[in-house]
């Protein structure tokens, strides 16, 4: 496991954590959400950190990673979602037509981002529609559990799906960097240690 791969995996778990927070609380960490959604549109970044703006953009995901690999603080729902997203990305990679459709949907949404801004409900709604038409048609399905009140509100569901789409984008990156699912089983301690180091460096860089 290396730092770049840990950043990409943090992107996966940030998306999962945001989806879970939206489902249970009806709100989410706005700075993390903005960074995750922006990552969907950064296809040609020169660095992995640049996909999220900088390391600070994925701090929520790094903290989630540290928590997931320590028994006392593990969130079973987030861990299950993260692992399912990694499996879903592998399923997506075998469907060329769906990959093309996903790409086209993201490119089309870019125009709305330029018009409304990255966190606008219209952007979340469009990304949610892209997710529903592509990723939701594949197995395994990402199961999201939470407060029924929040999950009955379209704006919340849109944000859940947009966050999961961002998680899948990070899963694609993770796999491109050599990430494999067995790393999750056998390199947990190393992953948490690297995530801690990245968090510390990010905090110092940001002056707090």
Distance of alpha carbon 99 from alpha carbon 67, whole angstroms: 32
Contact 5, 195 (CB under 8 A): no
Q: Which CATH architecture does the domain made up of 3-205 adopt?
A: Orthogonal Bundle (1.10)
Q: What residues does each domain of the chain span? A: 3-205
Single pTM value for the model: 0.96
pLDDT digits (tens, 9 = 90+) for 112-153: 999 999 999 999 999 999 999 999 999 999 999 999 999 999
Cis bond before residue 179 (omega within 30° of 0) = no
Residue whose entry in the numeric block shows the structure tokens 């960490």: 29
- Which range among 8-17, 115-124, 151-160, 185-194 shows the weakest confidence by mean pLDDT? 185-194
The model's pLDDT over 45-71, given as tens digits with 9 standing for 90+, comes to 999 999 999 999 999 999 999 999 877
């Amino acid at each position: 496991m290396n730092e770049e791969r840990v950043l990409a995996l943090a992107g996966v778990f940030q998306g999962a954590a945001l989806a879970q927070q939206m489902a249970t609380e009806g709100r989410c960490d706005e700075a993390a959400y903005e960074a995750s959604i922006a990552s969907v549109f950064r296809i040609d970044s020169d660095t992995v950190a640049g996909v999220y703006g900088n390391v600070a953009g994925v701090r929520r995901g790094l903290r989630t990673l540290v928590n997931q690999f320590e028994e006392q603080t593990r969130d079973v729902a987030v861990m299950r979602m993260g692992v399912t997203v990694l499996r879903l990305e592998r399923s997506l990679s075998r469907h060329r037509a769906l990959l093309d459709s996903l790409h086209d949907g993201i490119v089309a949404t870019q125009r709305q981002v330029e018009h409304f801004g990255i966190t606008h409900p219209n952007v979340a709604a469009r990304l949610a529609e892209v997710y529903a038409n592509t990723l939701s048609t594949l197995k395994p399905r990402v199961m999201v559990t939470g407060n029924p009140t929040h999950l009955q509100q379209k704006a919340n569901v849109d944000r859940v799906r947009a966050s999961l789409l961002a998680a899948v984008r990070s899963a694609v990156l993770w796999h491109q960097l050599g990430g494999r699912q067995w790393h999750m089983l056998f390199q947990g301690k190393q992953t948490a240690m690297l995530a801690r180091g990245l968090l510390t460096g990010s905090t110092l860089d940001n002056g707090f």
